[in-house]
């Protein structure tokens, strides 16, 4: 189903704002993995071969999440999934440089992802579809859409998995991680699911945030909302968004009204929240942490 949002009158300022989001959409949509990796995945767990050349630097972060098993921040990046202990160096998981585009943490050591295989895994298709790890990213197995989908955004909530496929610009939903129901087709950078209602979603688009009350089948503009690039919706009374220029905005009423907080330096790439006040934002300069709901930030981890 195609989502059609009315186009606002383009003043010089609105054109600039839309241009910022359009550029960010292109940047977030970029994949960098060669498309000639062929052959089907058989759905079994695989680990990176011992002789594979690991790329240890953490850069181009696509997703962030806190693992309840150890309390550490994990970053999914162009060069693999990394554990980021608060008092140590980033640790690449299993020496695998899998380009993990979509990423979400479901529970203790339980991750869902998507993207492109480690360059050494030449038996894998270029698009991994939905993949799963139950050992904190040490091994992964294919669940569905191997060779077909490249999810650039994933959310797990209400017993469902919601994914945005960059190949088709399709929002999709599954309740069994195998059979997918296609929903709206639209250009978005990120989306979030209400923690209270599985049918309420917010998406960031070139025209600004849009809301769905039908499970992502159709979306409507949200008048008065700030232009946002990334979203996280951790609880009923807490929504956090990041603008293309790094400004942090929060809402306490499901996106009806917003308050601008602080700002992070650099181009935003990923966002997650934890607890009631922690916010983590990855930009092209590093991963930044706020303990006061986005009002102030400090450098948590510089990036290569």
User: How confident is the model at residue 25, as a pLDDT?
Assistant: 53
Instruction: Give the 3-state secondary structure of the chain.
Output: CECCCCCCCCCHHHHHHHHHHHHHHHHHHCCCCCCCCCCCCCCCCECCCCCCCCCCCCCCEEEEEECCCCCCEEEEECCEEEEECCCCCCEEHHHCCCEEEEEEEEECCEEEEEEECCCCCCCCCCCCCEEEECCCCCCEEEEECCCCCCEEEEEEECCEEEEEECCCCEEEEECCCCCEEEEEECCCCEEEECCCCCCCEEEEECCEEEEECCCCCCCEECCCCCCCCEEEEEECCEEEEECCCCEEEEECCCCCCCEEEEECCCCEEEEEEECCCEEEEEECCEEEEECCCCCCCEEEEECC
Last residue within a domain, chosen from 185, 200, 233 = 185
Measured in degrees and rounded to the nearest 5, phi and psi for residue 166 equal: -70, -20
Q: d(Cα 298, Cα 160) in Å, to the nearest integer?
A: 34
Sheet holding 180-185, edge to edge: 151-157, 160-165, 170-174, 180-185
Instruction: Indicate whether 197 and 244 sit together in one domain.
Output: yes
Residue 220 sits in a domain of what CATH number?
2.130.10.10
Domain that holds residue 204: 187-298
Instruction: Indicate whether 83 and 195 sit together in one domain.
Output: no
Residue 20, in any domain of the structure: no
Instruction: Indicate whether 194 and 131 sit together in one domain.
Output: no
β partners of residue 110:
107
Residue 10, in any domain of the structure: no
User: How confident is the model at residue 57, as a pLDDT?
Assistant: 85
Residue 202, in any domain of the structure: yes
Instruction: Indicate whether 122 and 210 sit together in one domain.
Output: no
Instruction: Indicate whether 121 and 74 sit together in one domain.
Output: yes
From residue 291, how far is each of 45, 244, 262, 294, 302 by CA, in Å? Answer: 37, 21, 12, 7, 18
Considering only CA atoms, which of 87, 3, 19 is closest in space to residue 300?
87
Instruction: Indicate whether 87 and 197 sit together in one domain.
Output: no
Residue 93 sits in a domain of what CATH number?
2.120.10.30
User: How confident is the model at residue 56, as a pLDDT?
Assistant: 60
Instruction: Indicate whether 176 and 255 sit together in one domain.
Output: no
pTM of the model: 0.84
Instruction: Indicate whether 171 and 63 sit together in one domain.
Output: yes
Instruction: Indicate whether 206 and 170 sit together in one domain.
Output: no
Residue 148, in any domain of the structure: yes
What string of pLDDT tens digits covers the 304 residues of the chain? 333 333 333 333 344 344 445 555 544 545 444 333 333 344 444 444 433 343 468 999 999 999 999 999 999 999 999 999 988 899 999 999 999 999 999 999 999 999 999 999 999 999 999 999 999 999 999 999 999 999 999 999 999 999 999 999 999 999 999 999 999 999 999 999 999 999 999 999 999 999 999 999 999 999 999 999 999 999 998 999 999 999 999 999 999 999 999 999 999 999 999 999 999 999 999 999 999 999 999 999 998 6
Residue 18, in any domain of the structure: no
β partners of residue 161:
156, 174
Instruction: Indicate whether 154 and 212 sit together in one domain.
Output: no
Residue 109, in any domain of the structure: yes
Last residue within a domain, chosen from 185, 214, 248 = 185
Residue 197, in any domain of the structure: yes
Instruction: Indicate whether 122 and 150 sit together in one domain.
Output: yes
Cβ atoms 104, 65 nearer than 8 A:
yes
Number of domains in the chain: 2
Last residue within a domain, chosen from 150, 185, 220 = 185
Q: d(Cα 32, Cα 38) in Å, to the nearest integer?
A: 16
Residue 76, in any domain of the structure: yes
């Amino acid at each position: 189903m195609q989502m059609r949002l009315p186009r606002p009158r383009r003043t010089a300022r609105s054109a600039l704002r839309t241009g910022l989001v359009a550029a960010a959409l292109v940047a977030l949509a970029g994949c960098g993995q060669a498309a000639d990796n062929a052959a089907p995945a058989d759905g079994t767990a695989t680990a990176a071969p011992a002789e594979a050349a690991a790329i240890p630097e953490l850069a181009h972060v696509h997703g962030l999440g806190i693992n309840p098993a150890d309390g550490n921040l994990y970053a999914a990046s162009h060069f693999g999934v990394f554990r980021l202990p608060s008092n140590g160096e980033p640790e690449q998981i299993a020496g695998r440089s899998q380009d993990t585009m979509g990423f979400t943490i479901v529970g203790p050591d339980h991750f869902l992802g998507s993207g492109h295989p480690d360059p050494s895994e030449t038996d894998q298709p270029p698009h991994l579809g939905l993949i799963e790890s139950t050992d904190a990213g040490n091994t992964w197995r294919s669940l569905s859409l191997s060779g077909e989908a490249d999810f650039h955004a994933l959310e797990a909530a209400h017993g469902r998995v919601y994914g945005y496929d960059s190949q088709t610009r399709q929002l999709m939903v599954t309740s069994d991680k195998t059979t997918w129901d296609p929903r709206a087709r639209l250009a978005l950078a990120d989306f979030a699911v209400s923690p209270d209602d599985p049918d309420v979603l917010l998406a960031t688009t070139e025209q600004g945030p849009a809301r769905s009350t039908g499970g992502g089948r159709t979306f409507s503009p949200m008048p008065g909302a700030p232009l946002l690039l990334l979203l996280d919706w951790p609880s009923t009374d807490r929504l956090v968004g990041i603008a293309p220029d790094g400004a942090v905005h929060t809402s306490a009423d499901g996106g009806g009204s917003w308050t601008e907080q602080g700002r992070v330096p650099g181009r935003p790439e990923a966002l997650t929240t934890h607890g009631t006040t922690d916010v983590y934002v990855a930009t092209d300069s590093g991963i930044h942490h706020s303990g006061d709901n986005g009002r102030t930030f400090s450098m948590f981890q510089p990036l290569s």
